[in-house]
Chains A and B, each alone.
Chain A
């Protein structure tokens, strides 16, 4: 196992299975005791070049529970980027003011580039359509917590599997844990072949469906995603599928007792609100787990855990 200390996290594949499990173990400690002021001598920069509510607030909440200082911006409009500053210059400048940089940027690959030029570690909080590794870690944390293990599970992913970056990273990470995958999507939003190749190379099974109902009884986890209308070149095509992947409470009747429903949020209408009170609904706790996982990651990268 390489050291996590002082290493950037750009893509979930930067971490080995052992490193992922180590972060999840540290996160469990923060779940038990969230307020540990171990970061009181540290400053974390959160550079959000595009808006984000959940991710930015949960990172800032994580830093504050750890007692650290935060600097940064929540939109490129208020930074020197507007004046034409290069990403490299912004990163080099901010690295003088902070011990760790959390960055979201709309350019694909920007986090890898930032990690190459930055003297302090970078945590990728989303680089365009590419990677969002802390979402992946919190998904893994949520799956392990609710199922007691990450090994040998049946994971069903539903909705937009073509463009949804969270499902791609999650498949890569779960491929380390002997998962059986069930991909449910309209024909036009199927899982890309590069991701399916990843599953095959790991020697694992995947099954593809366009019908939603048949996977519910066999799934341990139902990972729901939003189907965005703007993804469809033909609006008629969207109209045809938009209601085909909506989960309601009655559909969960024949599911396993241990099933949990996850969603990276925000949801629009893909999970009916009548599911919210079902004990199998886990998406809001999932968002809460994001704070523990981000606390763990920050603490580990700064060498404090």
Chain B
């Protein structure tokens, strides 16, 4: 059969956002940080889909919703390879890769229980840095401790 389909197609959405190229193992984390489990919009998602670029990937499609900068920063922290595609009436109006910000404010909690941000009403602030192995770390601007992705807890 010449037009045999070799990839799974998740339904197209009329208007909304597609988050593509999510690392397969972080789809549910992205789902959670965006609070999609409580969304009343139509949400489709898939994981372990074939990807030419990454081998396996995840995808989330949300009808009738665009994301703000702060939410996109959150996505970038757990899924730095993700692409955000905005769709209006089946037409792609915007497509861009997420960018890891250099600095984030009041998005994640500091993992250090003695940090002032866990005791006083202080918005958290972190610089995103790379360690000597090139791994992303978050440097707390207050207690100056660095934490890895495994310790990230979103506010």
| A residues neighboring B (CB under 8 Å) | 11, 86-88, 106-110, 112-113, 127-131, 193-194, 197, 200
Contact (A129, B114) CB under 8 Å given A88-B120, A107-B119, A109-B140 = yes
Interface residue B94 (Cβ < 8 Å from any Cβ of A): no
Complex interface: chain B residues within 8 A of A113 (CB): 116-117, 120, 122, 142
Interface residue B132 (Cβ < 8 Å from any Cβ of A): yes
Complex interface: chain A residues within 8 A of B119 (CB): 107
User: What is the distance, in angstroms, from B40's C-beta to the closest C-beta of chain A?
Assistant: 38
User: What is the distance, in angstroms, from A223's C-beta to the closest C-beta of chain B?
Assistant: 21
- The residue that B144 contacts in the complex, of A86, A88, A131, with Cβ under 8 A, is A131
Interface residue B153 (Cβ < 8 Å from any Cβ of A): no
Q: Are A109 and B132 interface neighbours, CB within 8 A?
A: no
Complex interface: chain B residues within 8 A of A130 (CB): 143-144
Interface residue B42 (Cβ < 8 Å from any Cβ of A): no
Q: Are B146 and A108 interface neighbours, CB within 8 A?
A: no
Bound-state Cα–Cα, A283 to B38, Å: 62
- The residue that B114 contacts in the complex, of A88, A128, A197, with Cβ under 8 A, is A128
Bound-state Cα–Cα, A127 to B117, Å: 13
Bound-state Cα–Cα, A11 to B119, Å: 20
- The residue that A106 contacts in the complex, of B114, B132, B142, with Cβ under 8 A, is B114
Contacts A/B (CB < 8 Å), 17 sampled: A88-B121, A107-B115, A108-B142, A108-B145, A109-B116, A109-B144, A112-B142, A113-B116, A113-B142, A127-B116, A128-B143, A131-B144, A193-B131, A193-B132, A194-B146, A197-B131, A200-B132
Complex interface: chain A residues within 8 A of B115 (CB): 107-109
User: What is the distance, in angstroms, from B54's C-beta to the closest C-beta of chain A?
Assistant: 29
Complex interface: chain A residues within 8 A of B110 (CB): 109
**From B114, which residue of chain A is reached at the shortest CB distance?**
A108
Bound-state Cα–Cα, A35 to B111, Å: 46
Q: Are A197 and B142 interface neighbours, CB within 8 A?
A: no
Bound-state Cα–Cα, A37 to B141, Å: 37
Interface residues in B100-146 by Cβ distance below 8 A to A read 110, 112, 114-117, 119-122, 131-132, 140-146
**From B137, which residue of chain A is reached at the shortest CB distance?**
A194
Complex interface: chain A residues within 8 A of B116 (CB): 87, 107-110, 112-113, 127
User: What is the distance, in angstroms, from A297's C-beta to the closest C-beta of chain B?
Assistant: 20
| B residues neighboring A (CB under 8 Å) | 110, 112, 114-117, 119-122, 131-132, 140-146
Complex interface: chain A residues within 8 A of B120 (CB): 86-88, 107, 110, 113
Q: Are B112 and A108 interface neighbours, CB within 8 A?
A: yes
Contact (A108, B131) CB under 8 Å given A86-B121, A87-B116, A113-B120 = no
Q: Are B141 and A112 interface neighbours, CB within 8 A?
A: yes
Complex interface: chain B residues within 8 A of A87 (CB): 116, 120
Complex interface: chain A residues within 8 A of B117 (CB): 109, 113
User: What is the distance, in angstroms, from A201's C-beta to the closest C-beta of chain B?
Assistant: 9
**From A128, which residue of chain B is reached at the shortest CB distance?**
B114
Bound-state Cα–Cα, A47 to B119, Å: 18
Q: Are A197 and B132 interface neighbours, CB within 8 A?
A: yes
Bound-state Cα–Cα, A131 to B143, Å: 9
**From B110, which residue of chain A is reached at the shortest CB distance?**
A109
Bound-state Cα–Cα, A112 to B142, Å: 6
User: What is the distance, in angstroms, from B125's C-beta to the closest C-beta of chain A?
Assistant: 9
User: What is the distance, in angstroms, from B48's C-beta to the closest C-beta of chain A?
Assistant: 34
Q: Are A109 and B131 interface neighbours, CB within 8 A?
A: no
User: What is the distance, in angstroms, from B150's C-beta to the closest C-beta of chain A?
Assistant: 16
Q: Are A11 and B144 interface neighbours, CB within 8 A?
A: yes
Bound-state Cα–Cα, A129 to B115, Å: 10
Complex interface: chain B residues within 8 A of A127 (CB): 116, 143
Bound-state Cα–Cα, A67 to B146, Å: 42
Contact (A108, B121) CB under 8 Å given A193-B132, A197-B132 = no
Bound-state Cα–Cα, A88 to B115, Å: 15
Complex interface: chain B residues within 8 A of A107 (CB): 114-116, 119-120
Complex interface: chain A residues within 8 A of B132 (CB): 193, 197, 200
Complex interface: chain A residues within 8 A of B144 (CB): 11, 108-109, 130-131
